Amino acid sequence: MLDRFRVRPEGPACSSAEICVADDKWGDQMSTERFPHPTLSRRNGALVVEEVALASIVERFGTPAYVYSKRAIVEAYQSYTRALAAIPHQICYALKANSNLGVIDILAREGAGFDIVSQGELMRVIAAGADPSKVIFSGVAKTAKEMDFALKQGIGCFIVESEPELERLQMVAKSIGRRAPITFRVNPDVDAKTHPYISTGLKGNKFGVAYNDAHRLYLRAAAMPNIEIIGIECHIGSQLMELSPYEEALVKLLELTDLLEKQGVHFEHIDLGGGLGINYANDDTVGLPAFAAMISKHLAGRKQTLFLEPGRSIVGNSGVLLTNVEYVKTGEAKNFCIVDAGMNDLLRPSLYAAHHEIVNVVEHPHISDAVFDIVGPVCESTCFLGKERVLRVQEGDTLAVLSAGAYGFVMASNYNTRVKPCEVMIDDKRATVIREREQIESLFSNEHRIRD
């Protein structure tokens, strides 16, 4: 379980040694309201995650707060393993989506490997007790220091994204007497049909090696004494909502695989990356059965293991961000619901114009609907969580920003000298703080004034 990640909660109801168990005052009358979160429901008008009322989380731990469902994370991971049961495979969770030690621990216990993009993320995997040999190391700017550290930890594979990186990795591996296991990230020049900021498989993107260069680079790598080729990989983007880009990329990857195999370059695995989209607001997503069927059709009879790197689709719909309504400000042109969470807590709406459903934690049937922009405290006009949302809301309410389990806390900042939220994991009837809320003093404790 999560006992070794238990830390002091923010609210007064729990001591440092306690696990908070939810009461059942919210009752059991279920609403017909539907949410993208598999473990989120409304009972007697109150939002509940698994068996814990979100209002009780606010009472104990305050706001802003990220709240995750362990059951939702496990079910999302297991949906991959069930869909791919007939295919030899390894799921490597993309740590950048949510890198809390509690989340890593849950997925490691399920058998996941991990896709990382920095030494810091590798150190998180190790700190959570997971196996470095099931780690694949992506990223376009790996330093010699990071390569050295990763080699000494015995990671499973480096995903090489340029020819200069290959040369540096050969040099580092030779200096410590190791062979570096690699795949190239091959850029297949496939349009993922997603937001341009999260599209990674076009020839104009910074990621990977060009498809037309990959053959030459694999042959060069095969001749390097401290490089061991073990796979081939592509990753075309994030929040993909169609199956056809995946199939187009896989077909191109397999054509290159077959050409190289004939020339003596052999692969243990084929990595199709990640990027499956999730339902943020009645979105039509790619179903895992259809995804698995497409992969099976193309990999049938092949000896290689399939690797996948899902992130958002594992944790995205496991989490909510809770935020308190500080003021309800009405005006001639706009109504504003001003909350205590801002773009520093959840950047996606400001960065991508991303949509998150936003609902009241406790219903108000006797309040009239009104249209609001939900805005935060950061001193920027771009500090908003949602625009033109219909809500029944009053000062002192708590709002839940849904589908916030991925790219939420990990992209949070201290802009305006604001502390980052706490993170809470729900496991059936208990709520455990898996990251304490920062203290303001800690934000400048390592800064120094200049004195005469």
Give the residue numbers annotated as catalytic, written as ranges.
379
- 112 within 8 A of 93, measured Cβ to Cβ: yes
- 90 within 8 A of 307, measured Cβ to Cβ: yes
Q: How far apart are the first and last CA of the chain?
A: 53
Q: Strand pairing of 336-339 and 370-375?
A: parallel
**Which stretches within 223-352 are classed as H helix?**
244-262, 288-299, 312-315, 348-352
Encoding tokens for residue 382? 């771009």
Residues with Cβ < 8 Å from 406, sequence gap 6 or more?
A: 97, 98, 278, 311, 312, 314, 315, 316, 319
Which run of H or of E encompasses 113?
Answer: strand 113-116
Which run of H or of E encompasses 55?
Answer: helix 54-61
Nearest CA among 401, 293, 416, 320 for reference residue 50? 320
Q: Which long-range contacts (CB under 8 A, 24 or more apart) does 22-25 make?
A: 22/51, 22/52, 22/53, 22/56, 22/429, 22/430, 22/431, 23/53, 23/56, 24/51, 25/53
- 100 within 8 A of 122, measured Cβ to Cβ: no
- 181 within 8 A of 170, measured Cβ to Cβ: no
305 DSSP β-pair partners: 269
Residues with Cβ < 8 Å from 192, sequence gap 6 or more?
A: 199, 200, 201, 202, 236, 237, 238, 240, 245, 275
Query: Is residue 443 classed exposed, middle or buried when 0-12, 13-18 and 19+ CB atoms within 10 A define those classes?
Result: middle
- 369 within 8 A of 392, measured Cβ to Cβ: yes
- Could you write out the DSSP letters of every residue in 162-185? SHHHHHHHHHHHHHTT--EEEEEE
Report whether the peptide linkage leading into residue 38 is cis, meaning its omega lies within 30 degrees of zero.
Answer: no
